[in-house]
Structure 1
Amino acid sequence: MTRVLLMGLMASGKSTLAQAISAASGWPAIDNDVLLERSTGSTASKLLAAHGEQHLRAAESDVLTLILSMPGPLVAGVAAGTVLDPRDRERMRSGGHVVWLRTPVSTLVRRVSRPGHRPFVSSDPATVLRAMAAEREPLFTEVAHQVLDMDSLTPTSAARRVLDAVALRS
């Protein structure tokens, strides 16, 4: 059974890459944000505002449990905050082929600033994203089986690299 778990900061391309892998492999693409909203009745930003970070992290951990209980093969994006919990890091690493979508903060800022992108919780996304990157990138490194530098790859070429790596591990 193959599970590909995509992780990275917000706007790193998890949903886009999941769709590209799904198109190339025929595996279902599981959207973390959709599962979170279905299971809680709320978006991540609304959960954070209403109940705080600890509640949001617990909900994200529950979504990871749901993803890991699904029969594979599948590809799923994982909430960026999930990596903060040592137990969830271990569950990801043992539960699938974990891919870190390494994306420069400057690219992330440009993406979250686009019209139509989900609302950002800060008026200074660059500062927030730099802080998130400083905190989480060492954890992404710890968990990842594979690292993709997303600024140099198209979704199609990134999908091919992931599928090639999964084939080598099998």
Structure 2
Amino acid sequence: MIWKLHKTVVLVGMMGAGKTAVGKAVANNLGVPFLDSDAEIVSAANMSIAEIFERDGEPFFRARESEVIARLLDGAPCVLSTGGGAFLAERNRTLISQLGVSVCLQASLELLWSRVRNKDTRPLLRTPDPLGALTELYQARAATYALADISVQARDTYSIEDMAAQVIDALRARPDVLESDENG
């Protein structure tokens, strides 16, 4: 099948929800580029996000994140994965709404914890109680993530390809975002 993507698909949600892995699969299935705002920031800064947080603080990081998202949204339609906190900023939500479509990957706290508990690359979880920190973030961010244009529920039984198919099915309901050529 041949797809025509009219707007950038911006994946939002908690750390560990699968934005990068699912985003790559969605982009591959749609035949469009995959971009990752965190990877763009790391490349531009030549340091990890944890290092940026430590050296310059979260407000500095969030300002750079907004600049990168604006630049990436200004390009050709693609699939864009964002950091877990990106959608919290009203300026980012406004930009995404104007130039793209937000897709929230929803996952249970238990599933998120199973995916992030053994990783030290999450600066917001570098605390004596990382599960408590994740729980607080999860509860604090839920209402904002609910503002996304589309929401897709992750399940622990879904593979990356299963989730990608769920996202594409949700996007197909939006012809202003995604059209298919059934004959292609």
Q: TM-score, normalised by structure 1?
A: 0.89
Partner of 1:91: 95
The CA deviation at 1:82 is 1.4
* Residues 117 and 51 (structure 1), Cα distance of their counterparts in 2 relative to 1, 3 Å cut: closer
Query: Is the Cα–Cα contact under 8 Å of residues 7 and 77 in structure 1 kept in the other structure?
Result: yes
How many percent identity over aligned positions?
24
Partner of 1:80: 84
Q: Distance in 2 between matches of 1:47 and 1:96?
A: 27
Query: Is the Cα–Cα contact under 8 Å of residues 50 and 121 in structure 2 kept in the other structure?
Result: no
Query: Is the Cα–Cα contact under 8 Å of residues 106 and 126 in structure 1 kept in the other structure?
Result: no
Q: Distance in 2 between matches of 1:122 and 1:110?
A: 17
**For 1:118, which of 112, 117, 121 is the aligned residue?**
121
* Residues 124 and 137 (structure 1), Cα distance of their counterparts in 2 relative to 1, 3 Å cut: same
Q: Distance in 2 between matches of 1:117 and 1:110?
A: 13
* 1:24-65 per-position Cα deviation (integer Å, ceiling 9, x unaligned): 111111122210112222222111111111101111111211
**For 2:138, which of 118, 133, 136 is the aligned residue?**
133
Partner of 1:145: 149
Partner of 2:42: 37
Q: Distance in 1 between matches of 2:159 and 2:149?
A: 20
Cα RMSD (Å): 1.8
Higher normalized helix content (fraction of residues): 1
Structure exhibiting the larger radius of gyration computed from Cα positions: 2
Query: Is the Cα–Cα contact under 8 Å of residues 104 and 151 in structure 2 kept in the other structure?
Result: yes
Equivalenced residue count is 167
Indicate whether 1:15 and 2:20 are aligned.
Answer: yes
The CA deviation at 1:159 is 1.6
Q: Give structure 2 stretches of 5+ with no counterpart.
A: 1-5, 176-184
SS of residue matched to 2:80: strand
Partner of 1:101: 105
The CA deviation at 1:77 is 0.6
* 1:93-128 per-position Cα deviation (integer Å, ceiling 9, x unaligned): 2221211111112222221123x6635522322111
Q: Give structure 1 stretches of 5+ with no counterpart.
A: none
Q: TM-score, normalised by structure 2?
A: 0.82
SS of residue matched to 1:100: strand
Residue identity opposite 1:95 in structure 2: L
Deviates more, 1:78-87 or 1:9-18: 78-87
